Amino acid sequence: MWQHNEIETSAQGGPNNWEQPWPCTETLKTLAELNDQCLELLSEQAMMRASPAAPMFRELADLWGQLNVTSRRRAAACPYLLIDAGFADPYRWTWVGGNRVGDREPAAYASFFTAPGATQVAHHVFTNAWYIARTQPIGAPLYLGMPTHCASLLRACTIRQVTDLANQHAGWLRPRWAGRVKIWRQLLEAAISGEGLALEMARLHGVQLLATELKALEQVNAKEPRGEGRGTR
């Protein structure tokens, strides 16, 4: 799908073809804007050179340093969210939605981000994910890397619940595929060079990987009775 519907970008890296008659144009615009903020946060985190640094920062420090506004916009134009927020964990979303068996809050997670902008980005990630889950129920799983069951749970939340979640759990944010340096190298190098085919292949690689991960998660969910697995994370 992405190969046939590639968004053309100008020489400066900004989208110049948003007016195409896509059924999901607004969602893709939202994802690009959100990814741009996420990449800015990732760049800020990379420049902090915290110890110990994640491999995607330690091994790609030179690339993060070269990522400017133009190349960041190129990298942001992926048809999926580059940040994860526990989207594949049904217990978190059951708890947020109010079906709190035993009222036991999900376990605390060590924050990946220590950069000051993390809380603001968390607000944008959670509220936009909620909006996408509500307005694009069919595409939401791939856009967010979120199994159908989890997307349904998020869709049932209120905006107040989602806002409270962002205030309390910005620590859930993680870069997608944080341990897969090769994927990030491919995307960053293509974005910095501006090579169209390389960018298309990097985005397609992400789509394929997300689709494979979602298929595996859906298979596990199909075998597991509803309600099981709570608190496994």
Mind listing the pLDDT tens digit for each residue in 221-233? 777 655 444 443 3
CA distances from 83 to 19, 143, 145, 190, 222 (A): 26, 11, 9, 19, 25
Residue 124 lies in a domain: yes
Residue 141 lies in a domain: yes
Residue whose structure tokens are 């309390």: 168
The verdict on residue 11 lying in a domain is no
Q: What number of residues does the chain have?
A: 233
Number of domains observed in the structure of the chain:
1
Residue 230's pLDDT is what?
A: 44
d(CA 121, CA 38): 7
Q: Is residue 105 part of a domain?
A: yes
Over the stretch 26-50, which tens digit does the pLDDT of each residue have? 999 999 999 999 999 999 999 987 7
Alpha-carbon span 85 to 122, nearest angstrom: 8
Please report whether residue 7 resides in a domain.
no
- Does residue 14 lie within any of the structural domains? no
Considering the domain boundaries, does residue 231 fall inside one? no
Name the DSSP class of 15: B
DSSP string, 170-232: GGG-EETTTT-HHHHHHHHHHHHHT-HHHHHHHHHHHHHHHHHHHHHHHHHHHHS-TTTTTT-
pLDDT tens digits for range 79-95 = 999 999 999 988 888 87
Residues 104-157: tens digit of each pLDDT: 566 667 789 998 899 999 999 999 999 999 999 999 999 999 999 999 999 999
Q: Report the alpha-carbon distance of residue 140 to residue 151 in Å, rounded.
A: 7
Domain ranges, residue 154: 25-223
